[in-house]
Amino acid sequence: MTQLNNMLAWARQYKRRYLAGDISAGIVVAMMMLPQSMAYAIVAGLPPVTGLYASIVPPLLYALFGTSRTQSVGPMAIISLMTASALAPLSPPGSGLHGVLAAQLALMSGAVLLACALARLGFLANFFSRPVMSGFTLGSALVIAWGQAASLVGQNAPAGTVALFGRLRVHPASAVLGVGAIVLLLLAKRHLARLLRRAGVNPEAASIGARLAPMLVVVGGAVLVGLGVAGGGVPTIGAVPAGLPGLNLAIAPAYWKPLLQPALLIGFMIFLISMSSSQALANVPAPGDPDSAPAKPLANFELAGLGLANIGSALSGGLPVTGSISRAAVNVAAGANTPLASIISAGLLALALVAPTGYLALVPLPVLAATIIVAVLGMLEMETLRTSLKYDRSDALALLGTAGGVLAGGVEAGVVIGVLLSMATLIWRASRPHIAVLGRLAGSDHFRNVERYPQGTAGGTDPAVLLLRVDAFLFFGNIDAVTERIERETAARPALRHLVLILSAVNAIDTSALFGLAEINRALAARGVTLHLAEVKGPVMDRLKTVNLLAGLKGQVFMSTADAFDALSGTR
């Protein structure tokens, strides 16, 4: 029910003043998606029209079920690369089976996403640290760019085969067209908005105009080919079948198993990429409604929206899709206020397929390759690397390790390496929790860290009573560190009789830490020290009561540190 409420929320609250922005954004995004979606289908080793199919039904479904109002769902470079890599061992790029398997992969990824939504696994978005995500993007962008280098210079390499360090055969006319397109796109990126503004175009329109440079370059390329100016032999997209995608699903049952692992990894990355994009968008208020509270994406709804979008892509002959920050940024810049913008752009792309598609056949592949290369290099951000090199070497290492993993082992290995490196840095940090020895502040019932308040707490300690406060939830990764600290502190205090663990900042104790506490209790008892607890939070206490740790505890559970100190410090 919440889902349905969520689904209709933007429509029910629709305001008249949103419409102009939504229409203009719909038009702009459609013009951006027309070449882009075909290009990303080529990256995946699929016929270009597949990309268009994947830009119609999926954004409609996301508009209904997703969480971000201005997200733009469709084919995306990294997901297409992962698709190509997953299908490479199974079917030749461009074959009929390749298309069937791409749709099947979208279906399976969609099912994975939906299952995660139902199991409320939205917290999985936290599995990648920012440096690891940055490294993954870096590696993937380089692989994609290099994969397009052959196409850029006119070599009719089978699309989607990524051969690093292969030799390029150069077709001169194509190379001129491709490299020229890159130069134009880079110039446009740097200067077009400024030139347009200088020519009197208003700033917003100028910035949107500049974003449409890829579309203009592609049209220009097609015109050159059409007029015969480009010379013969330039590879082009070729005939694009007209008409809307039929809603049906071809499945190759023998491939469920080999596609399972890729579907898990692709589903995971679809979610991560779309979430990080939606989160960035949430900080931008809708232009038509500057006071609107930015809608934070709800991870579980995002999972559901993306799951349905991918299943929709599979049913309409597409490929795995996700939200894209670059497309969404254009959407917002062009005035999008609500998902209506996505619905309009999907409608326009459907119209483009219903209208004669002959003109699309003329689009030269080298120019399309140029747009891909410039787009993926635009995804690179070096700030995270620069910052982490200065700030935290282990994070910089994780970034470079993930990028290296993608380059050396492929995108799938890159995801696994990324997760492991994120976790390794986490475990390493978590294994050093903050633990403070407390003392009573003179003349009060307050207890503070004796290291930070040596004078104030000078009279408020007792050699027989040790007050230890742990500032972290207790789990398998830090319970050994806690145990060691306790051993060190007790070894240094021969007169010790009571140890009070103050759990005011402990939100949770996992099963491993529970056994660890029981072990601490036993070890202390063997040395004649009694373990007590204090300031245990309600939910933590309720849990502890379900097992017999408390029964094995010889000491007491005190409400406050003061109670504990008062009760124990007299017993010396």
Identify whether the C-beta of residue 384 lies closer than 8 Å to the C-beta of residue 130: yes
CB of 299 to a second copy, least distance (A): 9
Q: Does 505 bind a second copy (CB under 8 A)?
A: yes
- Type of residue at 192: L
What b/e string do you get for 468-495 counting C-beta neighbours within 10 Å, with b at 16 or more?
bbbebbbbebbbebbbebbeeebeeeee
Cβ atoms within 10 Å of 149's Cβ, excluding its own: 17
Cβ partners under 8 Å of residue 304, min gap 6: 3, 65, 113, 114, 117
Residues 506-545 that bind a second copy (CB under 8 A): 506-508, 510-512, 514-515, 519, 523, 543
The dihedral through the CA atoms of 523, 524, 525, 526 has a sign that is positive
3-state secondary structure of 322: strand
CB of 557 to a second copy, least distance (A): 16
Q: Does 256 bind a second copy (CB under 8 A)?
A: no
Of positions 191, 434, 527, 572, contacts a second copy by CB under 8 A: 434
Of positions 94, 111, 130, 377, contacts a second copy by CB under 8 A: 130
- Type of residue at 95: S
Residue 11 or 427: the one with the smaller Cβ distance to a second copy is: 427
CB of 551 to a second copy, least distance (A): 13
Residue 169 or 545: the one with the smaller Cβ distance to a second copy is: 545
Cβ atoms within 10 Å of 326's Cβ, excluding its own: 18
CB of 287 to a second copy, least distance (A): 15
H or E element at residue 265: helix 256-282
Q: Does 428 bind a second copy (CB under 8 A)?
A: yes
CB of 278 to a second copy, least distance (A): 12
Residue 427 or 458: the one with the smaller Cβ distance to a second copy is: 427
Round to whole Å and give the CA distance between 53 and 47.
11
Using the rule CB under 8 A, give the single segment among 168-176, 320-328, 422-430, 458-466 that binds a second copy: 422-430
H or E element at residue 498: strand 498-502
Residue 130 or 197: the one with the smaller Cβ distance to a second copy is: 130
CB of 560 to a second copy, least distance (A): 9
Place of tokens 């976790």: 423
Round to whole Å and give the CA distance between 10 and 378.
31
Residues 376-395 that bind a second copy (CB under 8 A): 384, 387-388, 390-392, 395
Q: Does 315 bind a second copy (CB under 8 A)?
A: no
Cβ partners under 8 Å of residue 183, min gap 6: none
Burial tier of 430 (Cβ tally within 10 Å: 0-12, 13-18, 19+): middle
CB of 394 to a second copy, least distance (A): 8
Q: Does 430 bind a second copy (CB under 8 A)?
A: yes
Residue 75 or 433: the one with the smaller Cβ distance to a second copy is: 433
Q: Does 119 bind a second copy (CB under 8 A)?
A: no
Round to whole Å and give the CA distance between 98 and 95.
5
Of positions 23, 90, 124, 142, contacts a second copy by CB under 8 A: 124
CB of 351 to a second copy, least distance (A): 39
* Nearest Cα residue to 328 out of 452, 410, 211: 211
3-state secondary structure of 212: coil
CB of 359 to a second copy, least distance (A): 44
Q: How are the residues of the chain apportioned to helix, strand and coil, as percentages rounded to the nearest 5?
A: 60, 5, 30
CB of 24 to a second copy, least distance (A): 25
Residue 505 or 557: the one with the smaller Cβ distance to a second copy is: 505
Using the rule CB under 8 A, give the single segment among 8-16, 146-154, 214-222, 471-479 that binds a second copy: 471-479
Q: Number of residues interacting with a second copy: please give it, by CB under 8 A.
A: 67
Q: Given strand 498-502, what is the order of strands in its sheet?
A: 447-449, 435-440, 465-470, 498-502, 530-534, 557-558
Residues 440-469 that bind a second copy (CB under 8 A): 441, 444, 446, 448-449, 452
Cβ atoms within 10 Å of 456's Cβ, excluding its own: 17
Of positions 176, 361, 476, 556, contacts a second copy by CB under 8 A: 476
CB of 442 to a second copy, least distance (A): 12
Of positions 9, 329, 423, 562, contacts a second copy by CB under 8 A: 423
CB of 392 to a second copy, least distance (A): 5
Exposure on the CB side of residue 320, measured as CA atoms within 13 A: 40
Residue 256 or 391: the one with the smaller Cβ distance to a second copy is: 391
Which positions lie near a second copy, rule CB under 8 A? 123-124, 126-131, 279, 283, 293, 296, 384, 387-388, 390-392, 395-396, 419-420, 422-434, 441, 444, 446, 448-449, 452, 471-473, 475-478, 480, 484, 487, 491, 504-508, 510-512, 514-515, 519, 523, 543, 546-547
